[in-house]
């Protein structure tokens, strides 16, 4: 009996499978699979779709730079009717706005305008500038007025005659702007540079009206010592700042039918633009900071 049990154990030992030394490969393969999945996920969340980024940037840029608008209220019941002048008819206002540029008889060539005044005054005493909206004729105040005075010099008549002839060839609105230096005025007639610059602008307007320029086309504005074009620290700079500018509107969109819209001498607000950061994000900065 004992010999039979020993023989059975011997046979079982001979058929037993040998131990495996490669079981570690299973765990290693699982680890590599997890590591591969980790790097795939990291790559997926770090890449940026340029086409989607550009589309989002364009949409946001249009949104931030769009003009502000108000939502019209919903009318409930019968529409209210009023003859009060405080009620604004936006349809009438919209028809008075001309969005087309270049609808003007003002010559675009500055040199042609400048040549009209050649020989009438010293070349340094008159300049002509222009842009898409305005044509501006700048005249040295010494050509038109005595120091501290708003009465026109008789010697300025030929210049004013040619200026009236030029304005008589067109129908555009005109603004006459007076400027001074920062030297304080004396006397009760002109207690400040505001009065002096305004009186000088008004004198030029009266002279143009006397030369058959329609009064409803003209406006007179005094800026005083504001908006200097040169430093007031030198005599030459102060002389350049004492000037009278005749500003002609190029486009009818700059002048409504019921009054002249004066230009604003201010710096425009910067546009807000999107910018991509180094890490792929998005931030918004003013245009002059890009």
Q: How would DSSP label each residue in the chain? A: -HHHHHHHHHHHHHHSPPPPS-THHHHHHHHHHHHHHHHHHHHHHH---HHHHHHHHHHHHHHHHSPP--PPPPP-SSPP----TTS--HHHHHHT----TT-S-S-S-HHHHHHHTBTTB-GGGEEEEE-SSEEEEEEEHHHHB-TT--SBPGGGHHHHHHHHHHHHT----EEEEEE--SPPP-SSS-SSHHHHHHHHHHHHHHHHHHTT--GGGEEEEE-TT-S-SS-TTSHHHHHHHSEEEEEEESSGGGEETTEE------PPPPPEEEEE-TTS-EEEEEGGG-
Q: pTM of the predicted model, to two decimals?
A: 0.54
Of 183, 170, 156, 189, nearest in space to 251 by CA: 170
What residues contact 136, with CB distance under 8 A and at least 6 apart?
128, 129, 130, 245, 246, 247, 248
Of 59, 39, 56, nearest in space to 281 by CA: 56
The predicted-structure confidence for 219-236, as pLDDT tens digits, reads as follows 999 999 999 999 999 999
- Supply the pLDDT for residue 242: 94
> CB–CB of 143/156 below 8 Å?
yes
- Supply the pLDDT for residue 93: 39
* Residue 135, phi then psi, degrees to nearest 5: -120, 125
How far, in Å, CA of 166 to CA of 106, rounded? 9
Cα-based angle 75, 79, 80 (whole degrees, multiple of 5): 115
CATH, domain 104-260, list 3.20.20.60, 3.90.1150.10, 3.40.50.720, 3.30.1330.60: 3.30.1330.60
- Mean pLDDT value across the chain: 75
- Supply the pLDDT for residue 110: 80
- Supply the pLDDT for residue 130: 85
**Regions of the chain with pLDDT less than 70:** 1-21, 47-50, 52-53, 64, 66-108, 252-274, 276, 280-290
């Amino acid at each position: 009996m004992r010999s039979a049990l020993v023989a059975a154990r011997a046979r079982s030992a001979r058929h037993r499978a040998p131990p495996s030394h490669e079981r570690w490969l299973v765990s290693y393969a699982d680890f590599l699979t997890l590591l591969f999945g980790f790097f795939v996920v990291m790559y997926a969340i770090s890449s940026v779709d340029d086409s989607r980024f550009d589309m989002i940037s364009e949409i946001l840029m249009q949104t931030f730079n769009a003009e502000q608008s108000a939502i019209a209220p919903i009318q409930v019941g019968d529409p209210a009717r009023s003859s009060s002048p405080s009620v604004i008819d936006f349809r009438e206002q919209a028809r008075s706005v001309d969005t087309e540029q270049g609808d003007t008889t003002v010559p675009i060539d500055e040199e042609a305008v400048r040549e009209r005044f050649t020989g009438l005054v010293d070349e340094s005493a008159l300049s002509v500038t222009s842009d898409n909206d305005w044509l501006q004729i700048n005249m040295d105040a010494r050509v038109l007025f005595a120091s501290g005075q708003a009465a026109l010099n008789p010697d300025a008549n030929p210049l004013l005659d040619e200026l009236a002839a030029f304005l008589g060839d067109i129908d555009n609105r005109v603004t006459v702007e007076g400027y001074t230096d920062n030297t304080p005025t004396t006397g009760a007639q002109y207690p400040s540079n505001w009065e002096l610059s305004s009186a000088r602008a008004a004198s030029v307007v009266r002279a143009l009206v006397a030369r058959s320029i329609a009064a409803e086309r003209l406006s007179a504005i005094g800026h005083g010592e504001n908006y200097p074009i040169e430093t007031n620290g030198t005599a030459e700079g102060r002389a350049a700042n004492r000037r009278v500018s005749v500003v002609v509107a190029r486009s009818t969109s700059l002048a409504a039918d019921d009054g002249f819209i004066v230009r604003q001498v201010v710096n425009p607000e910067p546009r807000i633009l999107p910018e991509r950061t180094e890490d792929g994000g998005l931030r918004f900065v003013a245009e002059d900071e890009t």
